[in-house]
Amino acid sequence: MEEGTAAMKNGQAKIEFQNVSKTFIQKQTQRVHVLDDISLTVAENEFLVIVGPGQSGKSTLLRIAGGLERPSSGRVTLDGQEITKPGPDRSMVFQTYSLFPWRTVAGNVEAGLRFRGVEKRKRRETAHRCIELVGLKGFEKAFPHQLSGGMKQRVGIARAYANNPEVLLLDEPFGQLDAQTRILMEMEVQRIWQQEKRTVLFVTNNIDEAIYLGDRIITLDGKLPGRLSGEYKVDLPRPREHTEVEFLSLRRKITDSTQLIL
Amino acid sequence: MTSQTNAPASIPNRAPLSQRLAALVHSIIGSRYFLYTLSIAIFLSIWDLAAVNKVLGNFLPRPVEVLIQLWSLNAEPLASKTLFEHLWASIYRVLIGWAIGVIVAVPLGVFMGLNPYVKAVVKPVFDLLKPMPPISWISLSILWFGLGEESKVFIIAIGSFVPCILNSYNGIRLIDPALYDAARMLGASRRQEILEVGFFASAPAIFAGLQISLSIAWSCVLAAELVGSRSGMGFIIILGMNQSAPALIIAGMVVIAVTACLISVLMERLENIICPWKRELPQ
């Protein structure tokens, strides 16, 4: 996308959570209050990171934005339109990868286009471009079980991009990776995002990851129901260094004012 | 010195002959194939010893006698059928009965997994029938269908039915819901979800069901042929009993084992071709 239009649109509200609450009903009687009155705006092409410990409802928040769950009250809009179900304008990257094990890398990446009935030649073209974007050229014919965790998630990201969505939803995408691969993948996500800007909602429990990647960080409380507990703007130039003074002081600020310790 | 004893294979040619010899012996004894051969040789020897010493009276033939019996079975027809015709009679019954069982059970199991109403209707009856060993149906089957092919096919179909429906149902039911989420996020319709995720994700489990039911089908065909038949491997075995010819019985058992083994290898090959990804899925 050209810089001009991107800059123009920047700052406009892309996604809006309006007083979103969610209660799950388990075994017909048990009610679990997961999210409480969340209001939040994500700007066009903003990289927003939602940080919270395990069981803070952050994944549910993302699933509501994806349309996989409906809020119990309140609403979420995309460009003013209420989100009620999954749509081609949003793609999700899952913590457990959720690749189709029966498809090759290329087959996984073009899955969304196949569902939409895009013709084969066009699918191949897009898949090829996205696989190249995530640095997996040469692995088109590999099956997911032949790939390492980091490579699997690269496929997940390529698959999300192949649909050419306006919004990317990443649900703890690196939660299953080792520390080294994780940092490498954070760098990769940043590179990919700078190359192909999208509105990003990124969920993580890792503060370092949040500061490294985010334009803005939203923190969730540690206990259910999840409530927004803080908002931090990250005004550091990219690529960031984990050891920069500003990086570390922001990190201290976040850890001091929340129950997050990581 | 210690490094040499630890790695006998890497002893240089200049080492003394005794050491090189020791290394050679070590590598032969350590070889898998040597141990396999040894294991079978020991088994056959014990068998032969037991037969020669009449541990089981007159009814344990020597391995050699079984081999000779196999050879003569091939040469002279039994009840006007050659060995291969008997074998084919059994295989034919297995294939027909198994196919019927599979064609009914797999779709039923799949729909049980997909639709709670189908499940609510089918499952109670299925749970009632499940614990009954298929062979216990033999008497009823003969009363209903007579001593002809139908009664045997019926038993085999019943035997194949149970593991097939169970594996298909569980194959669908135990699909990781995250895969459905992924498909939905990518824009799959409900139909595409079932076709893409349901079909492929359950394929390895369904295939396992096919394999289990095929081996059950083999036991069923034998049981059915033992009860009343003029052809098939079960007939050969019962003939061996009636004629007090244990070599004939064991020859029949060997042919059955080899055939069943070949078929299961074939199925495994087929599965690897159809589901090349299956290694990742928990079974």
Write out pLDDT tens, residues A126-166: 999 999 999 999 999 999 999 999 999 999 999 999 999 99
According to the model, what pLDDT value does residue B61 have?
92
Gyration radius of chain A over CA positions: 18
The pLDDT-based confidence of A1 (bands split at 50, 70, 90) is very low
- Chain B interface with A: residues with Cβ < 8 Å: 176, 178-179, 181-189, 192, 196-197, 200-201, 203, 275-277, 279-281
pLDDT digits (tens, 9 = 90+) for A65-98: 999 999 999 999 999 999 999 988 999 999 999 9
What confidence score (pLDDT) does residue B26 get? Answer: 86
**DSSP strand pairing (A30-43 vs A13-26):** antiparallel
Give B-chain residues touching A87 at CB under 8 angstroms.
Answer: 187
Q: Which two tokens stand for residue A95?
A: 């913590």
pLDDT confidence of residue B11: 53
Query: For residue B87, which phi and psi values (nearest 5 degrees)?
Result: -60, -45
Q: pLDDT tens digits for A12-36?
A: 789 999 999 999 988 778 888 999 9
Single-letter amino acid code for the residue at B186: L
Predicted pLDDT of residue B279? 53
Task: Indicate whether A242 pLDDT > 60.
Answer: yes
- Report the pLDDT value the prediction gives residue B13, as an integer from 0 to 100: 63
Which residue in A has a C-alpha nearest to residue B282's C-alpha?
A101
Q: Which range has the worst mean pLDDT, A123-127, A220-224, A234-238, B163-167?
A: A220-224
In order along chain B (283 residues), what is the average pLDDT of each group of 10 residues?
46 76 86 90 95 89 92 84 92 96 95 92 91 90 90 94 93 93 93 91 91 92 89 92 92 93 89 76 43
CA separation, residue B210 to residues A172, B136, B162, B214, B264 (Å) = 38, 21, 10, 6, 10
DSSP SS3 for A117: coil
**CA A109 to CA A99: how far, in whole Å?**
9
The residues, ordered by sequence, that sit 6+ positions from B228 with a Cβ below 8 Å of its Cβ are B142, B147
Q: How many whole angstroms from its chain centre is CA B177?
A: 32
Is residue A7 scored above 70 in pLDDT?
no
Domain boundaries, chain B: 2-60, 74-280
Closest residue in A to B199 (Cα) is A102
CATH architecture assigned to B74-280: Orthogonal Bundle (1.10)
Please judge whether B181 and A112 are an interchain contact, meaning their C-beta atoms are less than 8 angstroms apart: no
Q: CA dist A86 to A56, A230, B189, B193, Å?
A: 23, 28, 10, 13
The domains found in chain A, sorted by start residue, are 18-89+166-262 (3.40.50.300), 103-164 (no CATH)
Q: Which amino acid is at B158?
A: I
| Percent of chain A residues past pLDDT 90, beyond the cut | 72
